[in-house]
Amino acid sequence: MKIKFTLLLLTMFAGASTISAQSSVDCVTTGSIFTENAKVKNYDAAYEPFRKLMENCPKWSYALYQYGERLYRDRLEKAPEEEKKAVVAEFIQMYEQKYASYPDRVSKGENLTDIAQLMSDNNVGTKMEQFQKFNEAWEADKDSFTSPRALYNYFVLGVELQSTGDMDLNEIFVLYDDVQEKITEEQNAAAESAAPLLEKEEAGTALTQKEERAKNAANANLENYSKVIAGMNEKLGKLADCDNLIPLYQKDFDAKKDDIDWIRRAAGRMSSKECTEDPFFEKLVVQLDKLEPSAQTAYYLGQLADKNGDNTKAVKYYEESANRETDPSKKAVVFMRLGEKMRARKSYSQARSFYQKSLEAKPSNGRAYLMIANMYASSANSCGETQFEKRAIYWLAADYASRAAKIDPSISSNANETAASYRGLAPSKTEIFQSGKAGQKINFSCWIGGGVTVPNP
């Protein structure tokens, strides 16, 4: 009896092994058929084996989902309008299964962002459901929420929900601040990665193909994020002007005056929108300084000193703010403010120092380079002994304006025009030839210091 039972077990195990092996063979065979068709973009023929793999072999290969995304985008493009939502439902199911099958290779936040974007693009679900899916992605993994398009749609959906009364205006301001902060982080990362490549190019060294791709990718990101910020500001529009902000915050002040986050955001919003002339701004600043003396309160006190015409006190507060600030983007803003004040006084050397500090804090701040370029150009007549040397300053000014255009697409048009204008004011090719200084370095003894190499005509 024992022998018969043992033989029965062996037979069962052998049968299970055969079934398992057959299943494995089916997955491989079906996967091969799917891949052959998907590789040549014959997605209609690839669809049936794809669905079999999704149902029976979800872990067959990560390529299943890479090709699957292309397959569904093709089906969406070809599907009649009445069938698109069914295609989207399958597409979403594929994203969910991809994360379930390969959690180590797929970022949860990025996967949720893809689903949210798909819903938004194809008008699947309500606006609130689309927003909530984006918000789920944001809360799950903010680090991977980097798509410029997704960040823009996330914010725009919030604005649309506010217009229908489904979101509070203050929630939109909070959302704006959060998304803008994220974009600034990504802009800085892109500018930092591009900086050594730009320096290499400016030194006359050719980039490798890999470096060229990296530079182009960084430039594309900078341009796209710049467009997102511009679009967000346009969408926010009059919602964030002083006429709306002041009564909104005044109404809630007594109830929120001990809520440090609320006071901080209210003061920040009024400061960024230049609502500092209203007495309520001073009331907010005093309360904020009482609750949490900080780099930010020092900055606001500087703004109040500016409003009252006390320039010396304003500079003192701004410097205190810059020294205490730990957030690089905010530090950059304070240094820009100090640079502007020094430039207005024509203290160009000090202004340049502050602009350079702003760039150290925020490498994507092209406006700082543009301000330095403008100061160089305005000093042309006071630098150099001869007329040729004085006009040589414009080459240096043009170089700084070009740098501004390269790292900050939001001002690239203006910066490129400025660079071209300055080059037009520099010595001409004929003048370079007649001077005999081609290839030589001209040093500047004025506040600018350093020098510039005369280009070959």
Following DSSP, what letter does each residue of 376-413 receive, concatenated? HHHTGGGS-SSHHHHHHHHHHHHHHHHHHHHH-GGGHH
For 15, the domain range is 1-106
Q: Determine what percent of the chain falls in helix, strand and coil, rounding each to the nearest 5.
A: 80, 0, 20
CA gap 63, 35 in Å, rounded: 8
Cβ neighbours of residue 56 closer than 8 Å, sequence gap 6 or more: 23, 26, 27, 30
The pLDDT, as a whole number, for residue 160 is 95
Question: Would you state the pLDDT for residue 4?
Answer: 43
366, burial (CB in 10 Å: exposed 0-12, middle 13-18, buried 19+): buried
**What does the DSSP 8-state code read for residue 451?**
E
pTM over 0.75: no
pLDDT at 1: 43
Residue 187 is assigned to a structural domain of this protein: no
Q: Is residue 209 part of a domain?
A: no
Number of domains within the chain: 1
> What is the pLDDT at residue 100?
95
What pLDDT is stored for residue 218 in this prediction? 87
Looking at residues 288-292, what average pLDDT do you find?
89
Contact status, residue 441 vs residue 232, Cβ threshold 8 Å: no
Q: What is the pLDDT of residues 172-228, one digit of tens each?
A: 988 998 998 899 889 888 888 888 888 888 777 888 889 889 888 888 888 899 999
Query: pLDDT tens-digit profile of 93-110?
Result: 999 999 999 999 999 999
Q: What is the pLDDT of residue 122?
A: 93
What's the pLDDT score for residue 116? Answer: 96
Confidence (pLDDT) at 8: 39
Q: What is the pLDDT of residue 296?
A: 86
Confirm whether 101 is domain-assigned: yes
Model pLDDT, residue 259: 92
pLDDT at position 16, please?
Answer: 37
Residue 76 lies in a domain: yes
pLDDT at 6 over 50: no
Whether 53 is covered by a domain: the verdict is yes
**Cβ(427)–Cβ(456) under 8 Å?**
no
pLDDT band at 23; cut points 50, 70, 90: very low
Give 142's DSSP letter. G
Confidence of residue 244 (pLDDT cuts 50, 70, 90): confident
Question: What percent of the chain is modeled with pLDDT above 70?
Answer: 95
222 within a domain of the structure (yes/no): no
pLDDT at 10 over 70: no
Between 158 and 300, the more confident residue is 158
Question: What is the reported pLDDT for 192?
Answer: 86
Q: Is residue 262 part of a domain?
A: no
